[in-house]
Structure 1
Amino acid sequence: MSRRYSVASLRRRIATWREQIRFRWDLKQMAKDNPHLIDDIGLTRRQAEEEIAKLPFWQR
């Protein structure tokens, strides 16, 4: 059974993926440069590390 997606839904999905990657990349930079800011956004160090680990291996 094949799924059919509209072009609009595929664009939304790709946009969501890009937003997630950008958030994780920014979080990685924040953890490296200003780790005290992680608390300010309401994440624990462990939660931040878990999100960073979701980056593609070539971006970690």
Structure 2
Amino acid sequence: MTTTPTSLSDVYGAMRLDPSERQPTAAGRTQNRSGLKSLVKEWSDRAYFRHQLACMATNSPELIDDIGLTLKQVEAEIAKPFWRE
């Protein structure tokens, strides 16, 4: 049985392409470089997710209801800057 997402975090987690991307750094890499790369990737993912959510809300608002979110929740998520979780 599948569970229904109850928050935008659940929806975002379900939409990620590869949730196992956070892997330990390989030998010889500095933590800072890997950490920065991971941070930029996370920011990019958030910006993309919020853009897609905005498109969905504009073009197919019935889908927002189908995934169990309210318009108010979607508007709050879209309004967040990419660096905020």
Where on the TM-score scale, by shorter chain, does this alignment land: which range?
0.7 to 0.9
Give, in whole Å, the separation in 1 of the partners of 2:34 and 2:66: 35
Matching residue's letter, 1:34: S
Structure 1 residue runs of 5 or longer lacking an equivalent are none
TM-score where L is the length of structure 1 = 0.75
Match of 2:60 in 1: 34
Which of 3, 12, 23 is equivalent to 2:38?
12
Cα distance in 2 for residues equivalent to 1:32 and 1:38: 10
Identity score, percent? 42
The whole-number CA distance in structure 2 between the counterparts of 1:11 and 1:42 is 33
Coordinate RMSD, CA, aligned: 1.6
After superposing on structure 2, the runs of 4+ consecutive aligned residues of structure 1 that deviate more than 2 Å are none
Report if aligned partners of 1:25, 1:55 keep a CA contact under 8 Å in 2.
Answer: no
> Higher helix share goes to which structure?
1
Q: Evaluate the alpha carbon distance shift between residue 33 and residue 55 of structure 1 in structure 2; reply closer, same or farther with a 3 A threshold.
A: farther
TM value normalised by structure 2: 0.55
Greater relative CO (CA pairs within 8 A, separation 6+) = 2
